[in-house]
Structure 1
Amino acid sequence: MNLYELLSNRCERDLLAKDQLHAINFSNLPPSGDATILPPVGVTIVARNPIYLLQQLLTLDGCVHSMLLLSPSLGREAIVSLMRDVGTLTLLTDREDLQDLVGEVELGPRNLETSWLLTTSGTTGIPKVVQHTLRSITATTKIANQVSESQPRWGLLFEMSRFAGLQVAMQALLGGGILLAPTGHDLAARVKFLIGEECSHLSATPTLWRKLLMMPESDQLRLKQITIGGEIADSHLLNALRQKHPNSRVTHIYASTEIGVGFPVNDGIAGFPLDYVTGSSGTKLKIVEGVLWAKLDDARSVIAARHIERDSEEYVCTGDRVEVKDGRVLFLGRESSLVNVGGVKIQIEEVEEIIRQCGVVADCTLEAKKNAFSGAVLSLLVSLKHTDFDHNEAKKNIRDWCRLKLQREAQPATIRIVDSLEMSSSGKIVRTAGRK
């Protein structure tokens, strides 16, 4: 089964997706090629416009051996390197600066199981590639047999070339809904489009949700479903979302490119119930030395990439540190963000969560810089809830808060106030590499 066939229950006139200028339905798509035998073809797709990417996925899935989906934010050198490493040497793109690399694809019949090659969402270096299939990507997608009158209207704020973006797109399309995919970097303009198109379902990272909560225009969103993924969803954020959107269902999705969709949490509380670890179906979990390991059932298996750590029982190391407290498994942060300050181990994400609760703070990120005497020192970048706050007074409030709430080693040595924190193309805060 391929993506085109999975959508075969949709009428040719059904709107599938739209942005500010374009719309797509089945009448936009070419048929598959003749029933001839073609050599295995691997295709790389680099798409700034989600509608362009969707057209390519619907056209190519089942007709080519593999599709390597790359972020449009990647530089030319990284793109060429990944194409060479993976062997998908034919490029399709809507980026003008890459047109000299574009090749032609001869479509065969839709009788192949196409490999979907996705990249991890790291913020530094060339990303790593993980191999999926349409089966693993859509394993948890609720497929509608027919389009209802009250179609879910899914807003897309993730890059669609990422695993999280594909999850939104697949749920919108296969769930009988419409994908709303505004383009551009101006978040306010994208939100305005979603409001005008009556977006009812929206998925974003915690970083993006915090930005949305600070935007007055987001009050006009009438959401039925709020989905959070990609980073830790702390109780402060969950409570703020429930307060602003009291009629919405709030779901935290635990997923990654490496393991696919692990499990959803719908109770509106940070972390997940401990009985998820002892459950016998779906995603099997275990905690080893404070780190979460996950094992998917066969229907959602992902072919291992070289960088994925597995044990003898085929559990995958997620790299997420957790603790069990009052029958709840709470996320502490990534193993890679545990730093040593003056002989004390500090979890960066835990400190950030505490600082965000300071009354003047909208969002923040900590950088750990190497220090010959203490191992590392912490430097805080922070954006304020109101731009007219006096910076000196705000810094004093933050320092007082840190002294009250944090042990001495976890208190930032320096504080720098910025207009906004830099986000990666995956919607996460950009963090400094090499903390340890």
Structure 2
Amino acid sequence: MPTTDPLLEHVADALATDRLSVAITEMAARHPERAAVITGAGSGSRRVIDYATLGASLTALETRLDAVRPAGVFTTAEQAESLIVIAAACGRQRVPLAFLSRDSRDLAAPLVDWIAIDDSLSVPGDLRTRHELESVPPPVIVATSGTSGPPKLVDHAWDSVLAAARLAEQWQGLGWLLVYDPARWAGIQVCAQAMLSGGWLVVPESRDDPNVVARALVDESVAVLPATPSLMRRLLTAADRSVLVRGQVDRITLGGEAADAQLLADVRGFYPLAKISQVYATTELGEVFRVTDGLPGLPAAWIGRSLPGGVRLSVRRDGELVVQLSRDTAEVLTGDMVERRGNRYEFTGRRGDVIVVGGVRVQPRRVEEVIRSVPGVADARVWGLPSAITGELVAAEMVAADPLPEGATIDGVRAAALAACRDQLDSASVPRVLDIVKRIATTAAGKTPRGVRRP
């Protein structure tokens, strides 16, 4: 969408490699005292990094990179503000960049002669070889989260990294909540969008503490709340409701997992005026499509036809979603399983999450939905346990609501959850183990793990 704002015009007109640097430099010149990143939000350790400080760090790092011209940079930084500066400097200086989270740093071995930059933003000054500026745009390498197998490195161009960025005026100057790892695909997207649109990034002191996240959301005037459904469900069910409802959230973006109808209804109940988007994206493909109608899954009419941007979706006979980004690219098997329900295709889970009980295939997500539908249940997780007799058994854990419904007990809610499973599911899908836990742990990517008992 065209915009008349000079900042957004300059960013939109810049080369993709330069956009982050241009946005930060322009904001540092125009609004030096405006907050760029707020860390420790929701706690007593709150710290504000303004655009002047961020811009000065960027200029210094660009100067150092230009002096030594490394073969490439891989990140060992963990702070969002450091990663933003590293990304902007490497883009502007045309230095290849690899984002490596803590659990993917063993993948750095093939990055021969690349240098590591941590939160100190220091650059070695004694490199043996100076690599001259390449005419070809440098790659941006991102490690996958390991959802569909061991983490691996994926090459992107800066154009694809920033392809989903919104530069229309309605996105300008907003507060963005960051509950993702800033070195993973989703976190990179949130950091980039906040900076490109002259907004501020809000980093809670702990994403695992729903009350800290809720305070950060309210205290820092967050307008855009991106999260996985697992993180959103924890926030809505475990945070202090009196704090949460004070948030002035304008846009909510759910991604990384499928959102079910109950979660979408709960989100709408808390924030009736917010625009809700469900983004389907992967580290390998980038953003493929987004659904904005507030319903789970995607319209059945999208299957078999080209969507805006040239993406084409299809479904294999076994229910696996297939993506083709354009006519010139190959089809990609996503590993995500879908099922036709009326005029929608709804996600039923990952291919690798299926539990096989005596030859019967069980999708954990369906069992979780049944358990969560029971009054007094806040959340649930289902996975497979090895069995010498049936191959696998269905195991589950649930979080009880706090407070429980009047007159209810935890044992009673557990019994009701098992009864609901027996009533609504086939016998193979009924959990043989149902534990009560204080919270459902999530992976580093903010997703619910189903392949192991504990992440």
Normalising by structure 2, report the TM-score.
0.82
Deviations 1:205-262 (A, max 9, x none): 0011111112122222111101100111100100111111101111111111111001
Taking structure 1 as reference, are residues 296 and 164 closer, same or farther at Cα in structure 2, changes over 3 Å only? same
Q: In the aligned structure 2, how far is the partner of 1:419 from the partner of 1:35? A: 47
1:252 matched residue in structure 2 = 278
Q: In the aligned structure 1, how far is the partner of 2:73 from the partner of 2:225? A: 30
Contact 1:333 1:348 in 2 (8 A): yes
1:12 matched residue in structure 2 = 29
Structure 1 residue 46: Cα displacement? 2.2
1:49 matched residue in structure 2 = 79
1:308 matched residue in structure 2 = none
Q: In the aligned structure 2, how far is the partner of 1:351 from the partner of 1:6? A: 49
Q: In the aligned structure 2, how far is the partner of 1:354 from the partner of 1:372? A: 27
Deviations 1:262-283 (A, max 9, x none): 1110000001112222332322
The counterpart of 2:112, out of the listed 84, 87, 100, is 87
Structure 1 residue 429: Cα displacement? 1.6
The counterpart of 1:386, out of the listed 397, 402, 405, is 402
For residue 181 of structure 1, give the secondary structure of its aligned residue in structure 2: strand
Alignment of 1:17-56 (within 5 A): 17-19=37-39, 20-25=46-51, 26-30=55-59, 32-33=62-63, 41-56=71-86
The counterpart of 1:354, out of the listed 367, 370, 375, is 370
Higher helix share: 2
Alignment of 1:226-375 (within 5 A): 226-280=252-306, 281-282=308-309, 283-289=311-317, 290-297=319-326, 314-375=330-391
Supply the RMSD in Å over aligned alpha carbons. 3.0
The counterpart of 2:251, out of the listed 221, 225, 239, is 225
2:446 matched residue in structure 1 = 427
Identity of aligned residues (%): 27
2:199 maps to 1:211: no
Residue identity matched to 2:364: I
Kindly tell me the number of residue pairs found equivalent between the two proteins: 410
Normalising by structure 1, report the TM-score.
0.85
Structure 1 residue 430: Cα displacement? 2.8
1:189 matched residue in structure 2 = 212
Contact 1:123 1:431 in 2 (8 A): no
Q: In the aligned structure 1, how far is the partner of 2:269 from the partner of 2:210? A: 22
Contact 1:120 1:257 in 2 (8 A): yes
Q: In the aligned structure 1, how far is the partner of 2:263 from the partner of 2:213? A: 22
Residue identity matched to 2:227: A
Unmatched runs of 5 consecutive residues or more in structure 2: 1-14, 40-45
Q: In the aligned structure 1, how far is the partner of 2:50 from the partner of 2:444? A: 24
Deviations 1:142-172 (A, max 9, x none): 2247995xx2211111111111111212222
User: Is the deviation greater in 50-59 or in 110-119?
Assistant: 110-119
Taking structure 1 as reference, are residues 92 and 28 closer, same or farther at Cα in structure 2, changes over 3 Å only? closer
Structure 1 residue 138: Cα displacement? 1.3
2:152 matched residue in structure 1 = 128
Taking structure 1 as reference, are residues 319 and 86 closer, same or farther at Cα in structure 2, changes over 3 Å only? farther
Alignment of 1:57-68 (within 5 A): 57-68=87-98
Q: In the aligned structure 1, how far is the partner of 2:440 from the partner of 2:233? A: 11
Contact 1:40 1:64 in 2 (8 A): no
For residue 245 of structure 2, give the secondary structure of its aligned residue in structure 1: helix
Residue identity matched to 2:312: K
Q: In the aligned structure 1, how far is the partner of 2:422 from the partner of 2:370? A: 11
Unmatched runs of 5 consecutive residues or more in structure 1: 302-312
